[in-house]
Chain A
Amino acid sequence: MQAGKNDERESFIDENLRRVYEETVEEGIPDKFKDLLQKLKEQDKKDGNEG
């Protein structure tokens, strides 16, 4: 076991992991999700459950 190289390897992996993840986060959100939230909001109003 070589701790130094393992640490290095680990941070290399984590860095790639974050990059993959960030790429997806930065893609933004398709409109359908905001539409869905809007629909849920309107449905609640109709039901008279104003929070």
Chain B
Amino acid sequence: MSGKDPRDQLVDHLPAMRAFAISLTRNGAIADDMVQDTLVKAWTNIEKFQDGTNMRAWLFTILRNTYYSSRRKANREVADVDGVFTESLAEKPAHDGHMQMTDFRNALALLKDEQREALLLVGASGFSYEEAAEMCGVAVGTIKSRTNRARARLAELMGLREDESLEMTDDATMSVISSSKVSSF
């Protein structure tokens, strides 16, 4: 064997793996268990990692496989999430003040796993649609439509309608933002 041991890099990806796991499971303890399982799997299967490829993508793939196989074993919790939280969210006047981070987290938790995952991979973790598609074993178009649906659903849950401006952006600001966007391209 030559060069550096890729296993030395595992530690660098831990914070991102944990953030992804927590967002995916919405439960710190379960997330930590998953990350531990993933670490052991990655360590013992390191020869399957191809040098020069994206290690984070490889680790996230193991992580999500771990998640979905454990979810298949205990897939009861999924059912009740949708109804209960939607009720309490709907009571909140989400558009009357600054969006609270907890509201956003709650809204995120209401997304379907597949949608939340796609959005996290593309919107937060910085993977390309292509990378995310490969990690999830689906077509690029599927990832695109999942992220679009996830954003639309989040907007709906947060009370951000298509016909409404965000409370912090009046028309003037909005036009400045859009014109600066246009001119920067």
In the complex the two chains form, what is the Cα distance from A44 to B11 in whole Å? 17
* B15: chain A residues within 8 A (beta carbon): 24-29
Contact of B163 among A2, A20, A32, A41 (CB under 8 A): A2
Minimum CB–CB distance for B15 against chain A, Å: 5
Question: Contact: A36 with B177, CB < 8 Å?
Answer: no
Task: State the main secondary structure of chain B at its contact with A.
Answer: helix
Question: Contact: A5 with B104, CB < 8 Å?
Answer: no
Interface residues on A, range: 35 or more
On chain B, the number of residues with a Cβ less than 8 Å from chain A's Cβ atoms is 43
Interface residues of A in 1-16 (CB under 8 A from B): 1-2, 4-10, 12-14, 16
Which single residue of chain B is at the shortest CB-CB distance from A16? B104
Which single residue of chain A is at the shortest CB-CB distance from B6? A51
Question: Contact: A13 with B7, CB < 8 Å?
Answer: no
Q: Take A32-B32, A36-B40 as given contacts and tell me if A21 and B120 are in contact as well, using a CB distance cutoff of 8 Å.
A: yes
Name A residues whose Cβ lies closer than 8 Å to a Cβ of B: 1-2, 4-10, 12-14, 16-30, 32-34, 36-37, 40-41, 51
